[in-house]
Amino acid sequence: MSETLEQKLAKIEETDEVLRQHFGREMQKDPSIYVSDLVLFGALKRTLALSDGFRGHIRNRNFTCAAALSRLQLDTALRLYAGSLYGNTEEYAEAVFQGKRVDKLKDKRGRKLSDSYLADKLSELYPWVKRVYENLCEFVHLSNRHFFTSVASLNDADRSLKLELSAKDVPRPDSDYFEIVEGFLEAMRVTITLAAEWHKAMHQKSTAA
């Protein structure tokens, strides 16, 4: 039997708890705090906040806002991944902490860490990233994706259409939300994986020292 929309949203809530428990345990193992930890935990806090907002918008039938939050979650993953491309995670974290723009920083090969470049590079590990990135960008910037969200119905016979001016989506089946929910969950999982690798690498160095 296929999952319902609520069951899919419940998986996101479960992932929230996985995040909290994992990094809570890691902090108990080694309570040392580095600048990279501040950036990392900012990313994790953002992930939990976006998760809360995303689920609320899906339940309120606000696809436009849910899609924008999905793009922000993917952005969180991209910015964490940028640390590994930069070459020195702590130096990268310090630059971010100081408010420097990530897209002005360069990786080890001298390439600017633009969102598009990061999406290309992360797609080498997760092939779906570039496609989802490009689709979600259309919801962040006003585009043709927004022009059709107010269309409630079309009548081919008399070439008329009905427009609905509302914050909520026009009536649509739960299945129309499945892809965006599954995409958000995957972006969360990638974020947690990258965050765990980031934290482990930094704290292994401190233990070795």
**Please, which pLDDT band fits residue 203 given cuts at 50, 70 and 90?**
confident
Over the stretch 42-96, which tens digit does the pLDDT of each residue have?
A: 999 999 999 999 999 999 999 989 999 999 999 999 999 999 999 888 999 999 9
pLDDT of residue 189: 97
Kindly report which listed range (2-11, 17-26, 164-173) carries the lowest average pLDDT score. Answer: 164-173
pLDDT of residue 95: 95
d(CA 209, CA 128): 38
Kindly report which listed range (90-94, 113-117, 201-205) carries the lowest average pLDDT score. Answer: 201-205
Helix, strand or coil, per DSSP, at residue 62? coil
Average pLDDT, the chain: 88
User: What is the residue extent of each domain of the chain?
Assistant: 5-166+176-208
Most confident of 25-29, 52-56, 136-140: 52-56
CA angle 137, 139, 144 (to 5 degrees): 105
CB atoms within 10 A of CB 134: 11
d(CA 182, CA 184): 5
**Please, which pLDDT band fits residue 151 given cuts at 50, 70 and 90?**
low
Q: What letter would DSSP give residue 153? A: E
Q: Is the pLDDT of residue 183 over 60?
A: yes
